[in-house]
Chain A
Amino acid sequence: MLAGLLRFGFTVQILFTSALASGQGAPPAAHEDEAFDFMNLLSHHRLHNLDDERWNLYGQFTYISSWKMPFQAPYTNANGSINSLVPDRERSFSGTFTVFFGLKLWQGGEAYFVPEVISERGLSQIRGIGGSIQNFELQKTGSETPQLYRSRLFLRQTFGLGGAPVVKTSNPMQLGTVVDSRRLVLTLGNFTVLDIFDRNNVTWDPRQTFFNMSFMTYSSWDFAADARGYSWGGAVELYWDDWALRFGRMAPPEHPNVLPLDLRIWKYYSDALEIEHNHVLFGLPGAVRILGYRNHEVTGRFDDAIAAYRADPSKNALACTSYNYGSGNFTAPDLCWVRKPNQKLGIGINVEQFVAQNIGVFFRGMYSDGNTEVDAFNPADRSLNFGAVAKGTLWQRPFDVAGVGMSMSWISKIHADYLAMGGVDGFVGDGHLRQGAEGVFELFYSFNLFKAIWLAGDYQFLWNPGFNLDRGPVNIIGAKIHAEF
């Protein structure tokens, strides 16, 4: 009976996650025989063995356009600050083209190389929104001129420790193979921490589901990354049947939110520890993950910046002589005066559960200490998101995807005090603040064509942008074309 339930649950999960290419930290998923892609084409011509791959090659293209409607704001960039979301009508876009190479080196050893081209334009230069930026691709610094870069280059070594055989289907960043349900997996190189941690089989690949960045991971997880969301480091994962334990250490940026990294990983780092349990509830699969992180990075504490300014008002944002965000507010404190090695701590929970065939719900919540500035991701100190995603099997369009979700993020009291004094943190800081929770409600539908192309429409209702009760709400309409091959 239990075996039957497990089989059914596993089948549901496979059906749900099939044919979705990995963009950000996607888990291994079943390969959809019906999908059109290069590897399937070779396999159908008996030129490639998808079950025991020596190599694979996948690609994706995604273009997202967002239109922001005008909104109410009593002030914008007050007192020389620079980080407000502009209240006028604006359009933003991103285009990415990615190729995923995988190569088997030896028994259990795999190498992956992922070059990517990006072109983008953010709303208000990606300023003024805290944890809920309307397009997840905009975490990757870029310009309107397409730029080629290496997003990932890493080695993965799997050591089998026994247990039942687990089929790993061919996918981007996953060679088709069979592994033990008990195994140790080492990953070393250049990747995003989201390739390993905080997986979620419901929200899964943002290129297929929600547009908003807040659904990609915990908004308040300030994971180490360069300005494009990637870093160098290592991770070790222990899988033991239904359980998984993960630990990783990644290099932080040289300064907050910049591309260069500080590779002295023994000195400055971001550690993450996650425990995962996969379960079957009423015959349907689900998972619970608890993640804790600790950053030891050169950052500024909000209380230090406020104290420094109060003790000596010449230590204001305009007068910064070291790395800063360029605020022109000479009446505001700034983190540039107080950066030193500091710690940031946070803990979060990620729950996913399928409630019917091809319908899943999810919840994520995280609490971070909120004492220090954002170093790599976004400035939220506490966050939660939840929602539901369904594939179109119910209405005879199995490749279509629909979803609805809500996400909220908060900042700490001292963080709010700092922003209220006119300070800037990363890309938020209106020059003034009436503290509130930033939130977004999102609804999308993704329509499949030819089993390889998806056209998606999206609506987002965003309130209190930049954690500021004085600003918004904002209506954002989005459209996406996504192709996998």
Chain B
Amino acid sequence: MLSSRRHWALAFTAILCAATTRAAPAQQPAQGFAVERLYLSAPGAGWFVMDALDMHGGLGGNLSMTLGYASNPLHLSDGTQRLAVVAHQAVMDIGAAVTYDRWRLYINLAAPLTIRGATGTFGDYSFTGPNVSLASHPDALSDARVGVDVRIFGGPKSRFRLGAGAQLFIPNGNRADYDTDDTYRGMGRVLFAGDEGLFSYAGQLGVHIRALDDSPTPGSPLGSELLFGVAAGAKLPVSRSLAVVLGPEIFGVTAFRSFFTSSGTSLEGLLTGRLEGTGDTGAQLRIKLGVGTGINRQFGAPDWRVVLAFEVFTYNQKT
């Protein structure tokens, strides 16, 4: 009788345990994606992200090299857990553009110099931090970008200029290195800009068509996004042919399926200064420096960022 009771008690306990104890969840591996959110403007476009829309003249060209460093561009935190999946990201972007009249056609190729981060778990997901360096990836290029911009309304120096741009990202690289989605991506943008005396401004509103939706992986892309941003500054002439432009750029993206929520929106500010040639024709140089921080820290918006760019651009008289 006692034995039978013990039997029932054990069975009851086993059922209770089975009902109340959750099996330890298996950690799902996160796959990686293109973490960079600094979608550089076209070579020769003036600002770092916005576009001055000042294309003019006959056949011209631009070559650019941009060096950027971002600290903690993918840092996961929920108050109790923290994981810097991508802690350091340095990228060199080389671009070339051809301009004619109000049109610009361009290509950018980005070479990761270092992408490093921590490996660990966050929630139900395991993350493998990237370990990209010049030594381990001596010839790596991430997604290539080709694009076209056009000024639809206004002259190259008018108060208000309106334009449009389209970009295609051609996948290249390795998702585990956090430098590509490994899928084609596209952007369509409405651009505006203007100059009034010493004041200069630019802005954009667009759509980033992104196939990758890795939800519910923390900090991952949620599909297509809305792009937005504005820039404004003072254009101060330093000589007949040179000017300094100082001013901030604020830009961000928000996923359509998580529209303007904190977890689906990244926002970043960049204080920029640039020294540039102001001639209408001939070869000119532009040197740009930007320092900024993430305002809303969805992926890609870093703790801080520094960007340095060199551009050579030529406008020719129309024949």
**Residue ranges of A at the interface with B (Cβ–Cβ < 8 Å):** 42, 45-47, 54-55, 57, 101, 103, 113, 115, 147-151, 153, 190, 226, 228, 230-232, 254, 259-263
Contact = CB atoms under 8 A, between A and B. Distances in A.
A261 B138 contact: yes
Contact of A54 (B135, B137, B283): B283
A228 B139 contact: yes
Contacts of A45: 59
B216 to A, nearest CB: 30
Given A55-B312, A103-B312, A231 B138 contact: yes
Nearest to A151: B139
19 contacts: A42-B59, A46-B319, A47-B59, A54-B312, A54-B314, A101-B63, A103-B312, A115-B109, A115-B141, A148-B109, A148-B172, A150-B139, A150-B141, A254-B135, A254-B136, A259-B137, A260-B136, A261-B135, A263-B135
Contacts of B172: 147-148
Given A101-B63, A148-B109, A150-B111, 6 more contacts: A55-B61, A148-B144, A150-B109, A153-B94, A260-B137, A261-B138
B141 A149 contact: yes
B140 interface: yes
A46 B316 CA distance: 11
B134 A150 contact: no
Given A55-B312, A148-B144, A148-B172, A101 B138 contact: no
Contacts of B61: 55
Contacts of A148: 109, 141, 144, 170, 172
B58 interface: yes
Contacts of A231: 138
Nearest to B62: A55
Nearest to A57: B96
Contacts of A150: 109, 111, 139-141
A272 B116 CA distance: 34
B144 to A, nearest CB: 6
Among the interface residues B137, B138, B140, B314, which one has the most CB atoms of the partner chain A within 10 A? B138
Interface in B65-97: 94, 96
Interface residues of B, number: 24
Nearest to B144: A148
Nearest to A264: B135
Interface of B: 58-59, 61, 63, 94, 96, 109, 111, 134-141, 144, 170, 172, 283, 312, 314, 316, 319
Nearest to A260: B136
Given A47-B58, A54-B283, A55-B61, A190 B94 contact: no
A276 B134 CA distance: 33
B63 A149 contact: no
A228 B111 CA distance: 16
A232 B134 CA distance: 10
Contact of B138 (A46, A54, A147, A190): A190
A263 B144 contact: no
A103 B63 contact: yes
Nearest to A148: B172
Contacts of A190: 138-139
Contacts of B144: 115, 148
B138 A260 contact: yes
Contacts of A57: 96
Instruction: Name the residue among A42, A147, A149, A232 with the largest chain B CB count within 10 angstroms.
Output: A149
Given A42-B59, A103-B63, A149 B139 contact: yes
Closest 10 CB pairs of A and B: A149-B139, A148-B172, A263-B135, A260-B136, A261-B138, A150-B139, A226-B138, A148-B141, A261-B135, A150-B141
A467 B249 CA distance: 64
Contacts of A230: 138-139
A113 B319 CA distance: 30
Contacts of B138: 190, 226, 230-232, 259-261
Contacts of A55: 61, 63, 312
Contacts of B96: 57, 101
Contacts of B137: 259-260
Nearest to B134: A263
A449 B172 CA distance: 33
A228 B139 CA distance: 9
B106 to A, nearest CB: 13
Contacts of B314: 54
A47 B312 contact: no
Contacts of B109: 115, 148, 150
A243 to B, nearest CB: 33
Nearest to B110: A150
Nearest to B312: A103
Nearest to A101: B96
Nearest to A146: B172
Given A55-B61, A55-B63, A226 B139 contact: yes
Nearest to B173: A148
A150 B137 CA distance: 10
A137 to B, nearest CB: 15
A260 B139 contact: no
Contacts of B140: 149-150
Contacts of A115: 109, 141, 144
A420 to B, nearest CB: 35
A260 B137 CA distance: 6
A115 B61 CA distance: 19
A260 B134 CA distance: 8
B94 A113 contact: yes
Which among B58, B136, B316 has the greatest number of chain A C-beta atoms within 10 A? B136
